Chain A
Amino acid sequence: MQFMLLFSRQGKLRLQKWYVPLSDKEKKKITRELVQTVLARKPKMCSFLEWRDLKIVYKRYASLYFCCAIEDQDNELITLEIIHRYVELLDKYFGSVCELDIIFNFEKAYFILDEFLLGGEVQETSKKNVLKAIEQADLLQEKTETMYHSKSFIGFKKAY
């Protein structure tokens, strides 16, 4: 997979993950072009389109479009499956996920994606394992956060 984009029906980008290094300018151009093309398509049309030398696989979930770019030899259906799997993961993590969850916790959405895919390849096929890894990392984060807070409090006391 080359990249994954999430955008709203209004064309607002909600998440972007690039597995090929591109300059910001190129990324913006590609994003703009794709958002336009995908949004112009009618609901009854198929989920695939050929764009430049890539294949675009997209699917709409509620108000969000999930859009992936794959190479010619890659499989469209598996990509749809990947998208679906990611949506399921988001759903499990946030508990019936909605667009706002992704807007306000966009970094979490990235972390989940990073546990699921790495370098554009599926990293972990088990939903359970992905969520477990995320939970544990979150736990670690909370632990260090509380540690940090207590420390800074002590530092504060010392200073005065």
Chain B
Amino acid sequence: MEVVNLQDLVRGIRNHKEDEAKYISQCIDEIKQELKQDNIAVKANAVCKLTYLQMLGYDISWAAFNIIEVMSASKFTFKRIGYLAASQSFHEGTDVIMLTTNQIRKDLSSPSQYDTGVALTGLSCFVTPDLARDLANDIMTLMSHTKPYIRKKAVLIMYKVFLKYPESLRPAFPRLKEKLEDPDPGVQSAAVNVICELARRNPKNYLSLAPLFFKLMTSSTNNWVLIKIIKLFGALTPLEPRLGKKLIEPLTNLIHSGISVLPPIPAPGEGVLVPRGPEWVSALAMVLTAVLTKLSVAVLISLSSGMPNHSASIQVRPSLGGDHGVPHLKYLGLLAMSKILKTHPKSVQSHKDLILQCLDDKDESIRLRALDLLYGMVSKKNLMEIVKKLMTHVDKAEGTTYRDELLTKIIDICSQSNYQYITNFEWYISILVELTRLEGTRHGHLIAAQMLDVAIRVKAIRKFAVSQMSALLDSAHLLASSTQRNGICEVLYAAAWICGEFSEHLQEPHHTLEAMLRPRVTTLPGHIQAVYVQNVVKLYASILQQKEQAGEAEGAQAVTQLMVDRLPQFVQSADLEVQERASCILQLVKHIQKLQAKDVPVAEEVSALFAGELNPVAPKAQKKVPVPEGLDLDAWINEPLSDSESEDERPRAVFHEEEQRRPKHRPSEADEEELARRREARKQEQANNPFYIKSSPSPQKRYQDTPGVEHIPVVQIDLSVPLKVPGLPMSDQYVKLEEERRHRQKLEKDKRRKKRKEKEKKGKRRHSSLPTESDEDIAPAQQVDIVTEEMPENALPSDEDDKDPNDPYRALDIDLDKPLADSEKLPIQKHRNTETSKSPEKDVPMVEKKSKKPKKKEKKHKQKERDKEKKKEKEKKKSPKPKKKKHRKEKEERTKGKKKSKKQPPGSEEAAGEPVQNGAPEEEQLPVRGTSAPPPRTCDIRGSLQEDSQVTVAIVLENRSSSILKGMELSVLDSLNARMARPQGSSVHDGVPVPFQLPPGVSNEAQYVFTIQSIVMAQKLKGTLSFIAKNDEGATHEKLDFRLHFSCSSYLITTPCYSDAFAKLLESGDLSMSSIKVDGIRMSFQNLLAKICFHHHFSVVERVDSCASMYSRSIQGHHVCLLVKKGENSVSVDGKCSDSTLLSNLLEEMKATLAKC
């Protein structure tokens, strides 16, 4: 098959513009074929094409597994493509993502920095909480990698890890902090980035870093870093005001020198420059000069001469008018203003006109910014004017989104801080009423909520509100018919409620009652009708009372009759709530009618139904009710029934139907008669059950005479004339009225002042001596009594309401200064420790498991075999200071104890080992040989075979002393056969530095690559680890010898083999043969096999009684076949191998193992 490459695909798609979908589906079919091939290059090409198709919007999630295959390719070319595809298409829902864990781990520890880099980059896009947990430690290790290229990537990705796995923050933080002083500017900038992002969310935990950042700010020359640091300080200064003062100087310096130095400009949007005093004002001014002049925005700064008076004022005038202003500078200018507004509202308020002009801008972004600004700019004085302006924009606005935005902004502006700026609520109500003319708005409920809130909480306005609302109700036909489809009819909900609740204020209650009972009302949404029904009764009650008091019995009866006539239309409503309320009320009214016929006064009793006042309740009131002492909300009120009983005693049905469930042991041999009787009874029951749908049509049709929707006459309304609700006062007139009123007030005040001046007695009024009119001087038109929302008694003041519990950053609110606890260590993939003395029973299940899974290509053998005697010998040979020796021995003993305790029951061990088995293919653990475990640290060697002749040895260094270990260097004496891979340019005798330091009690892993020429013989390499141990008393330079033992078994990879293939191999005759015999073995055969499998990486091919064939393969492709036979007290092993030396060496090693059995 001809393989199409990416370029061909792209060209093909461009050539098939008409039938693109068809062409692509054809391509996808081809790709599917390509993915089935074994050739990794073809696969990678296919995945690359898929990545392109994914961008075009095609689903490639089905190829997730193929992507992983390409990710695990050993060649960088393919790996790169695999990771790219994964980063583009994987997300948290991708189920195969967990299969990548070990592959990623392997790539992270790859000797090639680009493999590691590509894995880190990919991981940053699809890291999940699981991946973050499993890989956190690996990434943390990479933070101290020798290459800055890796370090900076590792540092940056840690932020993603923290977000997904917050527990990692505390253990990783010390190292992250360390990276702030990394010699490489890239790494430093990465660390600043991460800490800045962390601090932005939870600044208080990072205050202690302020001095460090201060130092960085004054020393750093990287503008990107500087901006990040300034941003960080922006988050910290509100918490520590003293910091603000300290920052002035460096910031000023920066700005003076920085106009040309700062190419990316710290925009006003930084939120950095929050002025905190007069000094800050000047600093701010200068920053803004620097920033804004660079932006060619005209900035006028007039620092008033009276600095000591704290009356510095700034004027920022972005060139907002005209076309010459660069559009996004206009935007940023407005943004800057909104920042300044918080601290210097007056300097912004003077640009009100400019900002209002921006509302006319073509660009919606700019309009919305301007709107935002207006929100912060309003005062008692200018509220009416601004809102008036906005109202004209509402009329002009094109597009419902912007109009809705305007509407919400108007309401936000007016209602902010508890209607702080509203002086005339009549005006506000009329604004709200005017807003109801808006067609197609989604925010009807918002207006309704405002109406209700104002009417309830401002008592003085109720009379006016009621008159307005009744007018609204009166024009309800307009609203109902023309705006049925949009949200504005919600307003009627509020209108009906207000008219009902405060019916005593109604001028013509009878008229309103009729308006509310119009047939048209039934076209309104159900919940509004329900409110109508309820409030009709309230209204009715008050009318009844009026009539009775006036002695108009006839009038009262007429109202009752009206109710009786009109209510049935609601009874027939499809909405259950309406239906229920209406039928209930209808019965009540009918009863009243009877009483009225007997001339019984009923008004008192009817109005008693609605006695009392409804109070506003704060939305969070319920949450704030304190739990009384001694009340345990989690305690059972009734102990739950025990499980055994729950079978029988199911929760009882709320209503009847109990009898239908009969006890099981009821006699089942009910005779025919009984059955017939029951059938009859059931039919009876069904007939009486109104909810049972009967097969025959019911004789009574309840809704027979319901007028259908089509019967409702629809009046076409000519909307070319702007809708003006007749009889409703326009808000505009209030503006004039207000001006007049204020003028009068002022005059009066002046008069009073004059009087006061004459008398010079009472000077209680604030600002009375100042001729200017400030906000406080404007007295509200009505006696405004804003009823505060009710809170429960003992409500606890708390700020927690504002916090979103789902905020991902909240989890990172972690105290970083506390010392680390033992339990907080990052999960580290542990190697299973198998002592030679491991009890045989434990090995059994493992072997079986392995032989059952012949397809699993690679198996892990984790083994720690410590030659303790050797260790002790070394201990004796070494002659450190005698003082310390005893100390060390103690520690050595403790180490041993610890190891034993690490042994786990086999079950849990399997579970723990599972993820390792799934992944990390091709990675083989070498048994540990001849490693010395020096007191201050233990070397734990494992190797992973990567290529034909390369072995990676991972050395875990653990510092068990109380000193800090640093300057560690590892030098290994190369042999002819095995060489350590060293950085270019270093000689054989140079030590290779260990890329980290070890504080007491910390362990870390260093990896080294060795090249092995021939694997047929075992290898021993001598090495020395030199280090500086530093404690309070001083530093000493110490050395530690160790030996690396590469046994022949370690070059074998457990490879499963089928018996037929095995037989063919033996028949081929290419193999040389050798055998051994070991006597005196008492161990069971099964355990023996397990041992061979475990220590020498063989797999069982076939087993017959006390005879078994086994197979393994070396990394260089030698086949090794074994036939193991067990006699009474002896074991004989016959081996066949493609290399005789390898075989004999292997058998020698095996002999040593078996001899121990």
Interface residues of A (CB under 8 A from B): 13-19, 21-24, 28, 41-42, 44-50, 73-78, 81, 103-104, 106-107, 110-111, 114, 118-119, 121-126, 129, 133, 136-137, 140-141, 144-145, 148, 152
Establish whether residues B365 and A123, one from each chain, have CB atoms under 8 Å apart when the complex forms.
no
Establish whether residues A48 and B57, one from each chain, have CB atoms under 8 Å apart when the complex forms.
no
Is B55 among interface residues, defined by CB-CB distance under 8 A?
Answer: yes
**How far does the alpha carbon of A41 sit from the alpha carbon of B365 in the complex, in Å?**
10
Q: Name the A residues within 8 Å of B160 (CB-CB).
A: 119
Establish whether residues B156 and A119, one from each chain, have CB atoms under 8 Å apart when the complex forms.
yes
Q: Name the B residues within 8 Å of A77 (CB-CB).
A: 264-265, 267, 269, 332
**How far does the alpha carbon of A77 sit from the alpha carbon of B80 in the complex, in Å?**
32
Establish whether residues B55 and A50, one from each chain, have CB atoms under 8 Å apart when the complex forms.
no
**How far does the alpha carbon of A152 sit from the alpha carbon of B259 in the complex, in Å?**
59
Establish whether residues A78 and B264, one from each chain, have CB atoms under 8 Å apart when the complex forms.
yes
Establish whether residues A114 and B56, one from each chain, have CB atoms under 8 Å apart when the complex forms.
no
Establish whether residues A75 and B92, one from each chain, have CB atoms under 8 Å apart when the complex forms.
no
**How far does the alpha carbon of A133 sit from the alpha carbon of B186 in the complex, in Å?**
13
Establish whether residues B61 and A110, one from each chain, have CB atoms under 8 Å apart when the complex forms.
no
**How far does the alpha carbon of A80 sit from the alpha carbon of B126 in the complex, in Å?**
25
Q: Which residue of B lies closest to A147 (CB)?
A: B75
Establish whether residues B125 and A19, one from each chain, have CB atoms under 8 Å apart when the complex forms.
yes
Q: How far is the CB of B1139 from chain A (nearest CB, A)?
A: 21
Per DSSP, are chain B's interface residues mostly helix, strand or loop, or mixed? helix
Establish whether residues B80 and A76, one from each chain, have CB atoms under 8 Å apart when the complex forms.
no
Q: Which residue of B lies closest to A70 (CB)?
A: B269
Q: Which residue of B lies closest to A149 (CB)?
A: B41
Choose one: B6, B197, B363; the contact of A45 (CB below 8 Å).
B363
Q: Name the A residues within 8 Å of B200 (CB-CB).
A: 73
Choose one: B125, B153, B189, B364; the contact of A125 (CB below 8 Å).
B189
Stretch touching chain A among B323-331, B492-500, B733-741, B966-974: B323-331
Establish whether residues B84 and A111, one from each chain, have CB atoms under 8 Å apart when the complex forms.
yes
Q: How far is the CB of B355 from chain A (nearest CB, A)?
A: 16
Q: How far is the CB of A153 from chain B (nearest CB, A)?
A: 13
Choose one: B92, B156, B227, B267; the contact of A76 (CB below 8 Å).
B267
Is B91 among interface residues, defined by CB-CB distance under 8 A?
Answer: yes
A interface footprint on B326-352 (CB within 8 Å = 1, 0 otherwise): 011111100100000000000000000
**How far does the alpha carbon of A74 sit from the alpha carbon of B193 in the complex, in Å?**
12
Interface centre among B77, B329, B363 (most CB of A within 10 A): B77
Choose one: B56, B87, B331; the contact of A46 (CB below 8 Å).
B331
Establish whether residues B93 and A23, one from each chain, have CB atoms under 8 Å apart when the complex forms.
yes
Is B368 among interface residues, defined by CB-CB distance under 8 A?
Answer: yes
Not counting A78-B227, A148-B75, a sample of 5 additional A-B residue pairs whose C-beta atoms are within 8 angstroms of each other reads: A46-B363, A111-B84, A121-B156, A140-B114, A144-B75
Choose one: A17, A45, A107, A121; the contact of B48 (CB below 8 Å).
A107
Q: How far is the CB of B310 from chain A (nearest CB, A)?
A: 29
Choose one: B52, B157, B265, B269; the contact of A118 (CB below 8 Å).
B157
**How far does the alpha carbon of A78 sit from the alpha carbon of B263 in the complex, in Å?**
10
Q: Name the B residues within 8 Å of A145 (CB-CB).
A: 75, 77
Q: Which residue of B lies closest to A56 (CB)?
A: B365
B85-141 interface with A by 8 A CB criterion = 87-93, 112, 114, 117-118, 120-121, 124-128
Q: Name the B residues within 8 Å of A129 (CB-CB).
A: 186
Q: Name the B residues within 8 Å of A46 (CB-CB).
A: 327-331, 363, 365-366
Q: How far is the CB of B33 from chain A (nearest CB, A)?
A: 19
Q: Name the A residues within 8 Å of B368 (CB-CB).
A: 50
Establish whether residues B222 and A118, one from each chain, have CB atoms under 8 Å apart when the complex forms.
no
Is B266 among interface residues, defined by CB-CB distance under 8 A?
Answer: yes
Establish whether residues A118 and B156, one from each chain, have CB atoms under 8 Å apart when the complex forms.
yes
**How far does the alpha carbon of A123 sit from the alpha carbon of B960 in the complex, in Å?**
36
**How far does the alpha carbon of A121 sit from the alpha carbon of B197 in the complex, in Å?**
10
Residues of B in contact (CB 8 Å), total 78
Establish whether residues B152 and A75, one from each chain, have CB atoms under 8 Å apart when the complex forms.
no
Establish whether residues B55 and A16, one from each chain, have CB atoms under 8 Å apart when the complex forms.
yes
**How far does the alpha carbon of A74 sit from the alpha carbon of B197 in the complex, in Å?**
10
Q: Name the A residues within 8 Å of B329 (CB-CB).
A: 46
> Would you list the 4 A-B pairs with minimal beta carbon distance, nearest first?
A46-B328, A46-B327, A119-B124, A45-B363
With A13-B55, A140-B76 already in contact, the answer to whether A22 and B91 are too (CB < 8 A) is yes
**How far does the alpha carbon of A55 sit from the alpha carbon of B1075 in the complex, in Å?**
75
Is B81 among interface residues, defined by CB-CB distance under 8 A?
Answer: yes
Q: Name the B residues within 8 Å of A49 (CB-CB).
A: 364-365
Is B214 among interface residues, defined by CB-CB distance under 8 A?
Answer: no
A interface footprint on B40-77 (CB within 8 Å = 1, 0 otherwise): 01000000100110111101010000000000000111
Q: How far is the CB of B237 from chain A (nearest CB, A)?
A: 15
Q: How far is the CB of B59 from chain A (nearest CB, A)?
A: 6
Q: Which residue of B lies closest to A141 (CB)?
A: B77
Q: How far is the CB of B784 from chain A (nearest CB, A)?
A: 35
**How far does the alpha carbon of A118 sit from the alpha carbon of B157 in the complex, in Å?**
7
**How far does the alpha carbon of A44 sit from the alpha carbon of B368 in the complex, in Å?**
17
Q: Name the B residues within 8 Å of A48 (CB-CB).
A: 328, 331, 365
Is B159 among interface residues, defined by CB-CB distance under 8 A?
Answer: yes
Establish whether residues B80 and A141, one from each chain, have CB atoms under 8 Å apart when the complex forms.
yes
Interface centre among A16, A18, A107, A114 (most CB of B within 10 A): A114
Q: Name the A residues within 8 Å of B10 (CB-CB).
A: 103-104
Establish whether residues A75 and B52, one from each chain, have CB atoms under 8 Å apart when the complex forms.
no
Q: How far is the CB of B452 from chain A (nearest CB, A)?
A: 28
Is B12 among interface residues, defined by CB-CB distance under 8 A?
Answer: no
Q: Which residue of B lies closest to A57 (CB)?
A: B328
**How far does the alpha carbon of A53 sit from the alpha carbon of B152 in the complex, in Å?**
30
Establish whether residues B331 and A122, one from each chain, have CB atoms under 8 Å apart when the complex forms.
no
Establish whether residues A76 and B332, one from each chain, have CB atoms under 8 Å apart when the complex forms.
yes
Q: Name the B residues within 8 Å of A16 (CB-CB).
A: 55, 88
**How far does the alpha carbon of A33 sit from the alpha carbon of B1030 in the complex, in Å?**
60
Is B362 among interface residues, defined by CB-CB distance under 8 A?
Answer: yes
**How far does the alpha carbon of A152 sit from the alpha carbon of B159 in the complex, in Å?**
42
**How far does the alpha carbon of A131 sit from the alpha carbon of B152 in the complex, in Å?**
16
Q: How far is the CB of A120 from chain B (nearest CB, A)?
A: 8
**How far does the alpha carbon of A14 sit from the alpha carbon of B55 in the complex, in Å?**
7
Establish whether residues B271 and A126, one from each chain, have CB atoms under 8 Å apart when the complex forms.
no
Interface centre among A41, A42, A124 (most CB of B within 10 A): A124
Establish whether residues B56 and A133, one from each chain, have CB atoms under 8 Å apart when the complex forms.
no
Q: How far is the CB of A133 from chain B (nearest CB, A)?
A: 6
Q: Name the B residues within 8 Å of A119 (CB-CB).
A: 124-125, 156-157, 159-160
Choose one: A19, A41, A148; the contact of B41 (CB below 8 Å).
A148
Establish whether residues B156 and A111, one from each chain, have CB atoms under 8 Å apart when the complex forms.
no
Establish whether residues A75 and B7, one from each chain, have CB atoms under 8 Å apart when the complex forms.
no
Establish whether residues B186 and A126, one from each chain, have CB atoms under 8 Å apart when the complex forms.
yes
Establish whether residues A137 and B186, one from each chain, have CB atoms under 8 Å apart when the complex forms.
no
Q: How far is the CB of A82 from chain B (nearest CB, A)?
A: 9
Is B224 among interface residues, defined by CB-CB distance under 8 A?
Answer: yes
**How far does the alpha carbon of A17 sit from the alpha carbon of B87 in the complex, in Å?**
9
Q: Which residue of A lies closest to B330 (CB)?
A: A46
**How far does the alpha carbon of A49 sit from the alpha carbon of B117 in the complex, in Å?**
34
Is B1134 among interface residues, defined by CB-CB distance under 8 A?
Answer: no
Is B1085 among interface residues, defined by CB-CB distance under 8 A?
Answer: no
Is B190 among interface residues, defined by CB-CB distance under 8 A?
Answer: yes
Q: How far is the CB of B754 from chain A (nearest CB, A)?
A: 52
Q: Name the B residues within 8 Å of A125 (CB-CB).
A: 186, 189, 222, 224-225
**How far does the alpha carbon of A49 sit from the alpha carbon of B54 in the complex, in Å?**
27
**How far does the alpha carbon of A140 sit from the alpha carbon of B364 in the complex, in Å?**
49
Is B270 among interface residues, defined by CB-CB distance under 8 A?
Answer: yes
20 A-B residue pairs with CB within 8 Å: A16-B55, A16-B88, A23-B93, A44-B323, A45-B365, A46-B366, A48-B331, A50-B368, A73-B200, A78-B264, A104-B7, A106-B6, A118-B156, A121-B193, A122-B224, A123-B152, A124-B186, A137-B76, A137-B114, A137-B118
Q: Name the B residues within 8 Å of A14 (CB-CB).
A: 55
Q: How far is the CB of B544 from chain A (nearest CB, A)?
A: 53
Q: Which residue of A lies closest to B92 (CB)?
A: A21
Q: Which residue of A lies closest to B197 (CB)?
A: A121
Establish whether residues A118 and B120, one from each chain, have CB atoms under 8 Å apart when the complex forms.
yes
Q: Name the A residues within 8 Å of B364 (CB-CB).
A: 49
B21-53 interface with A by 8 A CB criterion = 41, 48, 51-52
Establish whether residues A107 and B84, one from each chain, have CB atoms under 8 Å apart when the complex forms.
yes
Q: Name the B residues within 8 Å of A126 (CB-CB).
A: 186
Choose one: A19, A41, A103, A104; the contact of B124 (CB below 8 Å).
A19
